[in-house]
Amino acid sequence: MILVYFLILVLLQVNSNYAVDEYMFIGGKVSKSDVDLVEFPLNLEYMEAEFFLWGSLGHGLDKLAPELADAVVPEVNTLSRLTSIRYFMFEVVRNGAIKDTVAGFPRPLLNLSRESFATVMNDAFGHPLEPSFDPYANDINYLLASYVIPYVGLTGYVGANPKLHSPTAKRLVAGLLGVESGQDAVLRALLYERGKENVEPYGITVTEFTNRISELRNKLGRHGNKDEGLKVKTKVGAEGKIQGNILAGNKYSLSYDRTPEEILRIVYGSGKENKPGGFYPNGAEGRIARSYLGHGGE
């Protein structure tokens, strides 16, 4: 019995030490350029948080974490009841982690309406889908809409990491990258299982949807092939040997990287970092994104 108490005591001790370290760690000093780089992904995190929150609970950050929500999100109506609850929990926590490290900024205006996702799909196929794509209609549509988001964040974290100076910022970005990759992997694996199914009423397979979305992102990013759907040419697949492509990676099987500029081009849907639109009607927030607005003309 005494041994058990002792063990519990030791465990408690370990736990509380860990909590203190973690806290001090998150509170550490971060250089100015690091602040810009660490703040930038908040734009995507807000979006993911809102999207997964609405999808699983039917309400957004305003209700769950009012202090995180400082702007208005257009309401979405019918919502898929996909059990994505885990995802948004991560997102909420992560918004908190970024904001504990840097000042952060209020949530930018987001457009997560059906029309917004329908536009992405139309652009991906090069013509309007009939009827227009509804991300909230059923599980597979919701999963496909989910495919649109975390991967972009993942490439952003890979791109940001080598530019960071402080250990605090590096630790934060590594932690965010890890979780973002996990989300992307779960979503891609779920989609992969259903790859051969048709998305109705279009008669187009799930795999084809992912390939088109990835091609669109490559086109908008304007920086080569950094995005791959669930099926690729054999020579592009892992070790140049397989077509099935649950994880996207370069020829060394490492994650692709993207700059904030490439990411803005993609999430604005405009192919231009100075031309907001898409999911961010008024543009993204933070010094990096704002530096492009009002420069180079819209």
Q: Alpha-carbon distance 180 to 155, whole Å?
A: 9
270 binds ligand NAG (CB under 6 A): no
Q: Alpha-carbon distance 166 to 199, whole Å?
A: 46
Stretch that binds ligand NAG, among 114-122, 180-188, 214-222, 285-293 (CB under 6 A): 114-122
CA distances from 283 to 165, 263, 267 (A): 27, 12, 9
Cβ-based nearer residue to ligand NAG, 142 or 279: 279
State the sign of the Cα–Cα–Cα–Cα dihedral 76, 80, 145, 250: positive
| CA end-to-end distance (rounded Å), the chain | 72
115 binds ligand NAG (CB under 6 A): yes
Cβ-based nearer residue to ligand NAG, 121 or 140: 121
122 binds ligand NAG (CB under 6 A): no
80 binds ligand NAG (CB under 6 A): no
116 binds ligand NAG (CB under 6 A): yes
Q: Alpha-carbon distance 289 to 43, whole Å?
A: 9
Stretch that binds ligand NAG, among 49-57, 108-116, 156-164, 179-187 (CB under 6 A): 108-116
State both tokens at 191.
């989609």
111 binds ligand NAG (CB under 6 A): yes
| CB neighbourhood size of 192 (10 A) | 18
**Binding-site member from 33, 113, 205, 270 for ligand NAG (CB under 6 A):** 113
Contact 253, 238 (CB under 8 A): yes
Min dist. Cβ of residue 278 to ligand NAG (A): 7
Stretch that binds ligand NAG, among 40-48, 113-121, 141-149, 241-249 (CB under 6 A): 113-121
76 binds ligand NAG (CB under 6 A): no
Q: Alpha-carbon distance 266 to 206, whole Å?
A: 21
- Contact set with ligand NAG (CB under 6 A): 74, 111, 113, 115-116, 119, 281
